[in-house]
Amino acid sequence: MEDASNTGKVDMTVDFDGHLYLFEFKVVEQVPEGKALQQLQEKGYADKYRGQGKPIHLIGVEFSRERRQIVAFDVAAV
C-alpha cells in the first residue's frame, strides 16, 4: 500500500509486531544504486510515524530490469 505524506509517497508501510517498516522500491537502470534508501531518508517519510513510539525501519530495495532480480537491499533504523 502506498502511504502519502506531505513530501511524497512511501511505496509500502508495514506495521507488524510493534515495529514499522517503510519500503521504497527502485529500478536501478532508471535510478542510480543507493537511491531507494536515500529517498526514504531525504524525504522524511518516517517523520509522521515518530509519535507512535514504535521502532521504525527504513528499507530500500533496488531491482535490475535487465537481470530481473534484487540487486541492492539497504536497511536503516530511525
Contact 38, 61 (CB under 8 A): no
Contact 22, 57 (CB under 8 A): yes
Burial class (CB in 10 A: 0-12, 13-18, 19+), 67: exposed
User: Is it the case that residue 9 has pLDDT exceeding 80?
Assistant: yes
Confidence (pLDDT) at 15 = 97
Confidence band (pLDDT; 50, 70, 90) for 3? low
Q: What one-character DSSP code corresponds to residue 11?
A: S
- As for how many domains the chain has, the answer is 1
User: Is it the case that residue 1 has pLDDT exceeding 60?
Assistant: no
Q: In terms of residue numbers, what domain contains 43?
A: 3-77
Instruction: Please compute the mean of the pLDDT values over residues 8-22 and round it to a whole number.
Output: 95
Confidence (pLDDT) at 29 = 80
Residue 78 in grid coordinates: 530511525
pLDDT in tens, 23-73: 999 998 866 678 999 999 999 999 999 999 999 999 999 998 888 889 989
